[in-house]
Structure 1
């Protein structure tokens, strides 16, 4: 009888252990951006898609400091997946611009939507071209941010230096506040339109957006091919009644190289098979499509993501 009781107890313990194994989850975190930006709500939407459709994964969307900080987290193995601009992902992978060493463990999952250069000025100011910035008060983005990296690249092509103007290193919120206080002549924001900080500014302050010439954009793309030509349509922001021709970069999802092929394949497949669920999360989601998933890719794909795209007949670009 005692032996029978021992066997029953052993069966119970083994059953409980196997049950626990069956329901064990793998935990992933996605680094996004601030709560007022686009990365944050989309990150939450992607986490929800994976959690609802893949029981063995538990994905959490984390607030973050956007591209540069997110890439540092990936590069130092502190987080599994992150949002980042494709230009900064390239610089992080190569160890250029604001990155002092290459993070060669960065891998791509897919590209999402364009993020546009917002070259903002006040309607009363005589700033109509990038060369008009000489001698002006200009916000070039927070130090080491994606915005500042893009501005440095654009100034490089234009032949401008920070010494040519009165430069302030300001984030989105402080840039718009300085405009409201009439302490800036021009400023740069890089984000998918419409972005809330610029919308808020335009409702209280007569602003304008400056277009870039065809020749300038061609020269920019020749030196920095991850930029693309795009347009912010008239009426996107109050008082800006003309189309604005401007460079854009691309928001993308990146991950660590050491994540398993099966895990990243499952993540990628589940995201794209349910991507239209994101339409209810943010207006920018309508631009996220499988057809453009590799447009603007700037780092090598993770093998798990590459496996999915190959199954869908999508050519994998070579990244050098």
Structure 2
């Protein structure tokens, strides 16, 4: 009897020793093309979650078409968390704009850095104003990226459509390489600053921002309340002068049905360690957690619990 009990205890102990540890659940964060700011931001967030998520969750950044596509990918379960712009998040929830009547069920996890609309030409270009893009070859970013959302709102203000330019749907890195090579006349990127793609192009030759007339800029801001203006100092890209550009606050989005405990854990992993994040990523220095109270869509319950502490 005792022998049988000893054998049973030995087998049970052996089973516990050799049983595999519980596998961490892998989450994917939808970013954008390589060369913009979203991919390295996604890498930094992944590193923080992997370090501080408690061991039962891992995260990897996924290259996507960007801000427009990411809400769809989150809703479809292709990624568990995504990065998008405030205006596109609001459009997605309302089913307007690029989402064409198909409302998307997502919530905000928290604010990120602002993205600004880089509209860049070689310093010697005859393109001065946005209006001068008519008839020009323009790298407009990937088809599903946030740049297109801005373009769709700016073009009508100037009486233009996408047919009035020759668009190239390229990653930001490729688009600005094409600008350096002279294969396009202008390159656009909705990105945090400094953007790697713009920095690389600036190293190949002097660049300049395209301007917009004050009345046109005010009309765009009035029509699009989620937009803001940001001042980019000349020394950021070694340009001839400072520039006032359009921009928008970025945010993290998650499915509405994500477990509240998981959403709170991810939020804590990121926002409890912003100093560490900022030390590795220049855009992370621009993250203001206070903006969680004024995002364009509702916070997830788990994020609300985190930011309410």
Q: How far is the alpha carbon of 1:192 from its aligned partner?
A: 1.0
Asked if the contact 1:121–1:210 (Cα under 8 Å) also holds between the matched residues in 2, the reply is: yes
SS at match of 2:113: strand
Q: Distance in 1 between matches of 2:173 and 2:231?
A: 23
Deviations 1:179-208 (A, max 9, x none): 233333333111111112111212223321
Q: Distance in 1 between matches of 2:68 and 2:84?
A: 7
Matching residue of 1:316 = none
Q: How far is the alpha carbon of 1:3 from its aligned partner?
A: 4.5
Asked if the contact 2:139–2:169 (Cα under 8 Å) also holds between the matched residues in 1, the reply is: yes
Q: Distance in 2 between matches of 1:154 and 1:214?
A: 13
Q: Give aligned pairs, total.
A: 307
Deviations 1:241-273 (A, max 9, x none): 211101002221111111111211222133211
Call closer, same or farther: CA 1:10–1:255 in 2, change over 3 Å.
same
Matching residue of 1:46 = 45
Q: How far is the alpha carbon of 1:309 from its aligned partner?
A: 2.0
Asked if the contact 1:119–1:188 (Cα under 8 Å) also holds between the matched residues in 2, the reply is: yes
Asked if the contact 1:67–1:85 (Cα under 8 Å) also holds between the matched residues in 2, the reply is: yes
SS at match of 2:115: strand
Q: Distance in 1 between matches of 2:282 and 2:292?
A: 18
Matching residue of 1:8 = 9
Asked if the contact 2:256–2:300 (Cα under 8 Å) also holds between the matched residues in 1, the reply is: yes
Q: Determine if the alignment matches structure 1 residue 299 to structure 2 residue 297.
A: yes
Q: Distance in 2 between matches of 1:277 and 1:183?
A: 40
SS at match of 2:247: strand
Q: Determine if the alignment matches structure 1 residue 192 to structure 2 residue 192.
A: yes
Deviations 1:90-148 (A, max 9, x none): 33323333334535321111111111111112222232222222333333333232211
CA RMSD across the alignment: 2.6
Asked if the contact 1:32–1:61 (Cα under 8 Å) also holds between the matched residues in 2, the reply is: no
Q: Determine if the alignment matches structure 1 residue 162 to structure 2 residue 162.
A: yes
Q: How far is the alpha carbon of 1:7 from its aligned partner?
A: 5.0
Asked if the contact 1:50–1:267 (Cα under 8 Å) also holds between the matched residues in 2, the reply is: yes
Unaligned runs of 5+ in 1: 312-320
Within a 5 Å distance, the mapping from 1:121-136 to structure 2 comes to: 121-136=121-136
Asked if the contact 2:83–2:251 (Cα under 8 Å) also holds between the matched residues in 1, the reply is: yes
SS at match of 1:236: helix
Deviates more, 1:99-108 or 1:245-254: 99-108
Asked if the contact 1:172–1:189 (Cα under 8 Å) also holds between the matched residues in 2, the reply is: yes
Deviations 1:195-234 (A, max 9, x none): 1211121222332112334332321122111111111111
Call closer, same or farther: CA 1:294–1:234 in 2, change over 3 Å.
farther
Q: Distance in 2 between matches of 1:270 and 1:172?
A: 29
Call closer, same or farther: CA 1:108–1:216 in 2, change over 3 Å.
same
SS at match of 1:118: strand
Matching residue of 1:201 = 201
Call closer, same or farther: CA 1:15–1:94 in 2, change over 3 Å.
same
Q: Determine if the alignment matches structure 1 residue 180 to structure 2 residue 180.
A: yes
Within a 5 Å distance, the mapping from 1:171-320 to structure 2 comes to: 171-238=171-238, 240-295=239-294, 297-311=295-309
Matching residue of 1:120 = 120
Q: How far is the alpha carbon of 1:20 from its aligned partner?
A: 7.1
Q: Distance in 2 between matches of 1:186 and 1:247?
A: 17
Asked if the contact 2:140–2:169 (Cα under 8 Å) also holds between the matched residues in 1, the reply is: yes
